Amino acid sequence: MTGMKVEGREGTEDPMNTDDNVVTNSYKLLDEVAVSLEQKCILHICGQRSGKSVALGLSDYSLALYDVCNLHSVCSFPAHTSTITDVKFSSKNEHLLYSSSLDGTVKVHDLRSKTCVAELKDDSEGPSMLKPISSFDFSSDENFGSAGTELFDGDAFVLFWDIRTSKLLGGYWESHTDDITQVRFHPEEKNKLATGSVDGIINVFDISKQCEDDALAYCLNTESSIDKLHWFRGMGSTFNISCITHTEELQLWEIDGASPFAHFTREDIAGILKDDTVDNTYLINSHNQEDGGLLIIAGYSSLKR
């Protein structure tokens, strides 16, 4: 596994398809633990801000919590009745954990009692017609939550709740034409939301507006199915968006840009990692660096390495 630190745009003549502004560091495995001896897969992993714990969403629809220091299992418990699609720790309360699922629910779990203390869902079509939730996020003040859905009766929905009351506030259903894979609130502006979809479109909304047409502020066409989105700070105070596609490409966007200001293909990533076989290369995720820049976690599955 390798970390690629992407520096800001300044200081390079052409940031497109070049590794002049990329610094790489390799990471080696120090320790490991088997989550289960059964045939379970880890679908999602999320770290606590304090660095104490990681939460796992497993393929048997359960959640597990591990202590980071010694990889000790803290607890595990059943959470959903279908595939878990997102896991997030509360930013306000270290004892609360959010999880979303294709069963149509976002659940808030109290890790002390291992129980669900709140449930967010859209049951407007009836209790047996919940929309399959594919991604979830909460606003910077954690008062509001948003979720994206897979196609449901021909539409892909962006749903909104008041987390404090679990009340469904409404939704958008005209801005995407295929499964929504990502919803990500701006880290500082609580009314700004980015969404990504299999349709290749990144939409940026101002959710303080009264209707969907007015709320849609920017529309970015990646021309590829979107896997992950992440807000990151550029050289100044402006936040940009990193996009990882299902074809293992990395695109970096200013939200008002007509095209990405940096674009790394799978071949580019393989070249940076010095991996001879492009098909072995994959992107994992992106993270903010405390000293600036964007950390991209990538890897390769070549057996010879």
pLDDT > 80? residue 56: yes
| Contact (Cβ atoms closer than 8 angstroms) between residue 155 and residue 166 | no
pLDDT in tens, 265-283: 999 999 988 877 899 999 9
The residue ranking higher by pLDDT, 217 or 29, is 217
Nearest C-alpha neighbor of 185 from the set 173, 193, 196, 176:
193
What is residue 4's predicted lDDT score, i.e. its pLDDT? 66
211-250 pLDDT per residue, tens = 999 999 999 999 999 999 999 987 677 899 999 999 999 9
Q: How far apart are CA 164 and CA 281, in angstroms?
A: 42
3-state DSSP assignment of residue 24: strand
From 143, 130, 151, 62, select the one nearest 99 (Cα to Cα): 62
Beta bridge partners of 155: 152
Rounded distance, CA 1 to CA 29, Å? 9
Sheet arrangement for strand 22-26:
22-26, 2-6, 294-300, 281-288
Per-residue pLDDT at 21: 62
What is the DSSP code string of 14-49? --TT-STTEEEEE--------S-SSS--EEEEEE-T
Token pair of 162 as six digits:
């008041």
What is the per-residue pLDDT for 20? 55
pLDDT in the model for residue 282: 94
107 pLDDT above the threshold of 80: yes
How confident is the model over 22-45, as a mean pLDDT?
84
Q: Are 276 and 269 in contact (CB under 8 A)?
A: no
Nearest CA among 286, 282, 304 for reference residue 295: 286
Give CA separation, 213 vs 204, 216, 238, in Å.
Answer: 12, 6, 24
187/247 Cα distance (integer angstroms):
27
pLDDT exceeds cutoff 70 at 198? yes
Q: Phi and psi at residue 164, in whole multiples of 5°? A: -65, -30
pLDDT tens digits, 125-183: 999 999 999 999 999 999 999 999 999 999 999 999 999 999 999 999 999 999 999 99
Query: Please, what are the domains in the chain?
Result: 2-300 (2.130.10.10)
Instruction: Give 82-101 pLDDT, tens digit per residue.
Output: 999 999 999 999 999 999 99
pLDDT band with cut points at 50, 70 and 90 for residue 10: very low
Question: Could you tell me the sign of the dihedral formed by the alpha carbons of 50, 81, 74, 72, in that order?
Answer: negative
Q: Is the pLDDT of residue 11 over 50?
A: no
